[in-house]
Amino acid sequence: GVALIGIPAGICALGFTATGIAAGSMAAKMMSAAAIANSGGVAAGSPVAVLQSIGAAGFSLGAKIGLTSTLGPLGAAVGAKL
């Protein structure tokens, strides 16, 4: 559960927001570097594009299911050790 809230919050803190990339943020620097590397555009499927998508809309249902099924047992194992 923490990952489903914490990861998008962390992405937002980098500057990938629901309204776009925040000026002067780490996201803006990443986007600038990606655009320079790709002759002025940001490639679809690139890390910057994926992070912006998550920042704008959150995780897809498939990503939520994948994270839950992967991180749930890991959290249970860590909890059992404590």
Determine how many CB atoms are found less than 10 A away from the CB of residue 27. 23
**CA 69, CA 75: separation in Å to the nearest integer?**
10
* The model's pTM: 0.60
Task: Tell me the pLDDT tens digit for each residue of 31-50.
Answer: 999 999 988 888 888 888 88
Q: How confident is residue 53, by pLDDT bands cut at 50, 70 and 90? A: confident
Helix (H) / strand (E) element for 15: namely none
At 6 the pLDDT is: 76
Q: What is the DSSP letter of 12?
A: H
Would the CA dihedral through 64, 69, 73, 74 be positive or negative?
negative
**CA 72, CA 47: separation in Å to the nearest integer?**
25
Task: Tell me the pLDDT tens digit for each residue of 55-80.
Answer: 877 666 666 666 667 777 777 787 88
